[in-house]
Amino acid sequence: MDVKIEQSWKEVLQPEFDEDYFAQLTDFVRSEYRQHTVYPPGPLIFNAFNSCPFNDVKVVLLGQDPYHEPDQAHGLCFSVNDGVAFPPSLLNIFKELNADLGVPVPTTGNLSRWARQGVLLLNATLTVRAHQAGSHQGKGWERFTDAVIRLLSQQREGLVFMLWGGYAQKKAELIDPQRHLILRSAHPSPLSAYRGFFGNHHFTLTNDYLIKHGKEPINW
């Protein structure tokens, strides 16, 4: 299958695109976009990949589902479009960033600036029906994004994987801890942020690791 995605990703992911499950997933997603309001907009489904080529990835931040309300999702996990109010989890991310590194809470929740520096902002499921959280789970996206994590673990060295919350932490089994740094904590959701997300210092730990491995730190 010929998928419109950044060329370096296309090369490493072509075996996935040729699998039967991906054809079935594509049929499902196309049908959903025809019949329902689905987020993110179709051209932004692979925005995380198009914004951060395979060999540029330094950090992988894993989310679960795109935001499912209007104007929020644009293909980068936890990120929202310019001018959109911060969802609670994103606000807590900015609070931890401020406490950890002293970075002021930004005026926009658009995390494209992170992606351009090598942060792959990857949701496990890349699409969602409007107002229905989790509506596209179990359709094949998770198999695809698990393959992405596995390929990064196998073909790259010295990456940082930020796994926030129980769902993300289960993905640790796909990652070689001898080759990469795996950071785990509670999720930044208001339901769990005070149970170990606040004070996790993941932004400092990430940059310290990148510097130690001869890479430019992220300007969060």
Q: List, for residues 7-47, the tens digit of each pLDDT value.
A: 999 999 999 999 999 999 999 999 999 999 999 999 999 99
DSSP 137: T
- What b/e string do you get for 130-160 counting C-beta neighbours within 10 Å, with b at 16 or more? eeeeebbeebbbbebbebbbebbbeeeeebb
Residue pLDDT, tens place only, 47-84 = 999 999 999 999 999 999 999 999 999 999 999 999 99
* Angle at the Cα of 136 from the Cα atoms of 135 and 142, rounded to 5 degrees: 135
pLDDT at 171 over 90: yes
pLDDT at 179 over 90: yes
Pairing label, strands 128-129, 38-39: antiparallel
Q: Considering the candidates 20, 65, 100, 176, report the single residue annotated as catalytic.
A: 65
Give the chain's end-to-end CA distance (angstroms, integer): 36
Residue 104: predicted pLDDT? 96
What's the whole-model pTM score?
A: 0.97
Residue 1: predicted pLDDT? 86
Q: Mean of the per-residue pLDDT values for the chain?
A: 97
Residue 206: predicted pLDDT? 98
How far is the C-alpha of 174 from the C-alpha of 199, rounded, in Å?
Answer: 26
Catalytic annotation present for 65: yes
Residue 137: predicted pLDDT? 97
Tell me the backbone φ, ψ of residue 160, rounded to 5 degrees: -110, 125
What is the average pLDDT across 185-200?
97
Q: Strand, helix or coil at 67?
A: coil
Residue pLDDT, tens place only, 134-164 = 999 999 999 999 999 999 999 999 999 999 9
